[in-house]
Structure 1
Amino acid sequence: MPPLRELDQAPRRIERYGDGAFRIEGAVHAGAILLTARGIVPWAVGDAAGATAAAVEALIAARDDYEFILIGTGTRFELLARAARDALKAAGIRFDAMDTGAACRTYNVLVAEGRRVAAALMPVA
């Protein structure tokens, strides 16, 4: 896992990602995760293209924790499936999808700035 150095003082900073996991505040979390101000929970999604409306229910349920959400789609950017995008839009949730590395770095910077942001991250190998 490559270390991320953006603004080391950020609370709940993503320290590393790779090998199918994320290291956050010294703890390793395997698989896809949802990271909000309240905590880190597993995210039941396989890939961006196959994401269903049900796959984003956890993101919708946590919407009081953030202004917008960054969605990391894995090794490379992929469009989130239409059903998932439509469910997020219908719930009034602002989101931006990007590759997972970019989502991790952007999350760290925004959290360090005091922004209320969340990250839904698919792992990379």
Structure 2
Amino acid sequence: MRLNEIEFNESDPIEGYGPGFFRIGGQVWSGAVLTGPAGTASWGGYADSAALLALKSEVDVIFVGTGAEVAHLPKDLRAEMDEAGIGVEAMTSPAAARTYNVLLSEGRRVAVALLPV
């Protein structure tokens, strides 16, 4: 078996998660979190669309982790993202973290907004 070391761009991969927290770039974050090319920060959840819109020129898609269960994004949030031309995909937070890490390792322009599990 051949192993290749993965190199990430400026963004940090998600190293782990658990009840109410995420570990990103060696730091533990409590509650909802947003990470991508601009770094990692606490996220205000669905009502904090401004943080997602600020990534418009930096990413091609934002994954939104909806917690332990998959859920639809609120219609107004989806409409704002569509109007801004930002691709957004909703999935469970564990699935969003894994998908983000894979695409990040491929050098893709991605971000992820995660609600805690």
Q: Normalising to structure 2: TM-score of the pair?
A: 0.88
CA contact (8 A) 1:10 1:109 kept: no
Point out where structure 2 has 5 or more consecutive residues left out of the alignment. none
Q: Which residue of 2 aligns with 1:9?
A: 6
- 1:123, 1:106 → 2: CA distance? 16
- 2:98, 2:5 → 1: CA distance? 11
Q: Which residue of 1 aligns with 2:57?
A: 64
RMSD of aligned residue pairs (Cα, Å): 1.5
Distance 1:8 1:33, change over 3 A: farther
Q: Which residue of 1 aligns with 2:75?
A: 82
Point out where structure 1 has 5 or more consecutive residues left out of the alignment. 1-6, 46-50
Query: Aligned AA for 1:110?
Result: L
Aligned length: 111
Alignment partner of 1:22 is 2:10: no
Query: Aligned AA for 1:43?
Result: W
- 1:8, 1:77 → 2: CA distance? 32
Query: Aligned AA for 1:83?
Result: D
Q: Normalising to structure 1: TM-score of the pair?
A: 0.83
